[in-house]
Amino acid sequence: MRNQKEDRFDRMLKSVLDSQADHVCMSPGLEYRIRQTVYESGKEKTKMKNGRKRKFAVALAAVCLLGSITAVAAGTVAGYHSHSWSDAREIKSLADVETVSKTVGYPLKAVETFASGYTLKGGHITDTEAVDSENNVVDAYKEVMFDYEKDGIQVILVEQPMADYKKGDSDHPNQTQIECGDITLTYREDPYKFVPPDYEPTDEEKAAMEAKELYISYGTDKVEETTYHFLTWTQGDILYTFMSYDEDAPGAEELTGMAKELIGLEG
Amino acid sequence: MDGQEELVRRMQAGDTEAFGRIFDYYGTRLLRMAYLLTGNYADSEDIVQETFETCFFKCGDLKDCSRFTPWLYQILTRNAWRIGRRSRREEPVEELPKSRGQTGLEAERQPLEIIVEDESRAELWKAVQQLSLKMRTVVVLYYYNGLSTKEIARITHCLEGTVKSRLYTARKILERELREGGTAV
């Protein structure tokens, strides 16, 4: 039989948990990321093979991750919240780029079709907030994400204002520098392993994760491995990022060729 | 949640609007559970994001739609155990939020009594955060979510006896911590 003291303790414990939980609220950024992942995947459902939905979701998150890895080292920015203005894409063709450029307030660079054959499918503006470990906003800006595609393979180009905390993680493994005139391109590969929810990483995998040599993403039916390719550079005050992630996706050489085409364009 | 089974069936068929309604209902609730389990807001966001992604992409695996809520809590718990284990814990908060407000009864209490109780609450939260993750999970599911030991056993994949044992031990640890902190109830 429970005594009065136990009841009082139980009430107090419940009250403490309630009051701690009460001040935790869903940020608009988190809500948007979750909805975007699901809605974008839903739209792509008809043309994506099993397992690709998850990879697409990770791809969206990975673009943000590139910066946040750097930012944690700098001790200021600990993460990003992003949300689009609307479900509609502001860029439907190259003709829309100039208008969007005026909207975001900085020059944008894009081509209709790269020499490699990747063709512009659309693009959209994202409002992004950089936050510190206590979820305080320390920077806010608009970034533009362009989708290019060739034979069902996607390449994403992100353009955003440069800031000190977005400078690269020089210690990251699988990273190389490519000189292009007076501009330095940084190419990086991140191996991802997609695994079922009950997957237990081996000790070797845990060590690789600690060393940033492997990223494990839960939620697929079977184990699959995918490498994400990133190419970043700064020109003027703009940070450019190319990202690809399919099995036959372009790697360093092809992405560098595409970067050179953009670098040669007038801003 | 009214009409939940129907919404789950629609979500299983890929209906994103149904997912949106489920997200509206469970979003903040899961985020708060994740925060109580990890004590870390950034981790809680990761946990909730992964939980909802798994919810949408893997809901086809759920055979009985009436079991959706424990299934969802089970995914959240597993994500919290995995992410919570790998992550460094944030420093416990020193100051409790003022959301309780001052009730008429509190206003009549002596200031010293209020201070002692506030200290007890702070000590208790600190002690909850120091429990092992599995023990803390049982405490959160029981006291915050108000689930029965039987329901918790299903979610955490263990015997009901194990849940009762963890609950009993957690309670004793928390009471001891309060006694040693000099702010026993």
Q: ipTM of the assembly?
A: 0.81
The rounded percent of chain B whose pLDDT value lies above 70 is: 79
What gap in Å lies between CA A47 and CA B35, rounded to an integer? 37
Residues listed for chain A? 267
Q: Does B168 touch chain A (CB under 8 A)?
A: no
Residue B42 has its nearest CB partner, among A41, A79, A197, at A79
Degrees (nearest 5) of the Cα angle A67, A252, A93?
A: 75
What gap in Å lies between CA A72 and CA A79, rounded to an integer? 8
Most confident of A229-233, B95-99, B107-111: A229-233
Output the DSSP codes for A100-121: HHHHHTS-----SB-TTS-EEE
- What pLDDT score was predicted for residue B127? 93
- The alpha-helical segments, DSSP class H, found in chain B are 4-12, 16-38, 41-58, 68-86, 104-108, 111-130, 133-139, 149-156, 160-180
What gap in Å lies between CA A122 and CA A89, rounded to an integer? 7
Neighbouring-strand partners of residue A125: A144
Task: Indicate yes or no: CB of A57 within 8 angstroms of CB of B53.
Answer: yes
Hey, is A50 helix, strand or coil?
coil
What gap in Å lies between CA A208 and CA A63, rounded to an integer? 21
- What pLDDT score was predicted for residue B94? 36
A122-166 pLDDT per residue, tens: 888 877 777 665 556 777 888 898 989 988 888 989 999 887 766
What six digits make up the tokens of A234? Answer: 């700064």
Residue B81 has pLDDT above 80, yes or no: yes
- What pLDDT score was predicted for residue A208? 83
* B103-180 carries CATH number 3.40.50.300: no
Q: State the span(s) of chain B assigned CATH 1.10.10.10.
A: 103-180
Q: State the span(s) of chain B assigned CATH 1.10.1740.10.
A: 4-86
CB of B17 closer than 8 Å to CB of A2: no
CB of A212 closer than 8 Å to CB of A66: no
Quick one: closest CA in A to B43, which residue?
A: A133
Hey, is A239 helix, strand or coil?
strand
What gap in Å lies between CA A255 and CA A260, rounded to an integer? 9
Closest CA to B83 of B36, B129, B50, B127: B50
- Averaged pLDDT score across all residues of chain B: 81
Residue B102 has pLDDT above 60, yes or no: no
Hey, is B97 helix, strand or coil?
coil
- What pLDDT score was predicted for residue A77? 52
- What pLDDT score was predicted for residue B107? 45
Q: Scan residues 27-86 of B and list those with Cβ closer than 8 Å to A.
A: 27-28, 31-33, 35-36, 41-42, 44-45, 48-50, 52-54, 56-58, 75, 78-79, 82, 86
Residues of B in contact with A198 (CB under 8 A): 78
Closest CA to B41 of B100, B94, B83, B72: B83
Provide the CATH number for the domain formed by B4-86 in this structure: 1.10.1740.10
What six digits make up the tokens of A32? Answer: 């948007």
How many Å lie between the alpha carbon of A119 and the closest alpha carbon of chain B? 28
- What pLDDT score was predicted for residue A134? 55
Closest CA to B174 of B114, B125, B113: B125
Q: Does B90 touch chain A (CB under 8 A)?
A: yes
Residue B64 has pLDDT above 60, yes or no: yes
Residue A48's Cβ-side half-sphere holds a number of Cα atoms within 13 Å equal to: 16
CB of A259 closer than 8 Å to CB of A231: yes
Residue B105 has pLDDT above 60, yes or no: no
CB of A20 closer than 8 Å to CB of B36: yes
**A104-113, A130-139, B31-40, B139-148 — which is least confidently predicted?**
A130-139
**A110-114, A134-138, B21-25 — which is least confidently predicted?**
A134-138
What average pLDDT does this structure show over B10-16? Answer: 85
CB of B9 closer than 8 Å to CB of B65: yes
Beta strands A238-244 and A153-161, pairing class: antiparallel
**Burial profile B4-20: b = 16 or more Cβ within 10 angstroms, e = fewer:** beebbebbbebebebbb
What gap in Å lies between CA A131 and CA B155, rounded to an integer? 33
How many other C-beta atoms lie within 10 A of the C-beta of residue B150?
A: 10
**A39-48, A82-91, A148-157, A211-220 — which is least confidently predicted?**
A39-48
Task: Indicate yes or no: CB of B14 within 8 angstroms of CB of A31.
Answer: no
What six digits make up the tokens of B72? Answer: 């969802």
Q: Which residue type occupies A243? A: M
- What pLDDT score was predicted for residue A263? 92
What six digits make up the tokens of B132? Answer: 């092992």
Closest CA to A149 of A257, A266, A246: A246
Residue where the block lists tokens 């039989």: A1
What average pLDDT does this structure show over A11-30? Answer: 86
- What pLDDT score was predicted for residue A140? 83
- What pLDDT score was predicted for residue A45? 40
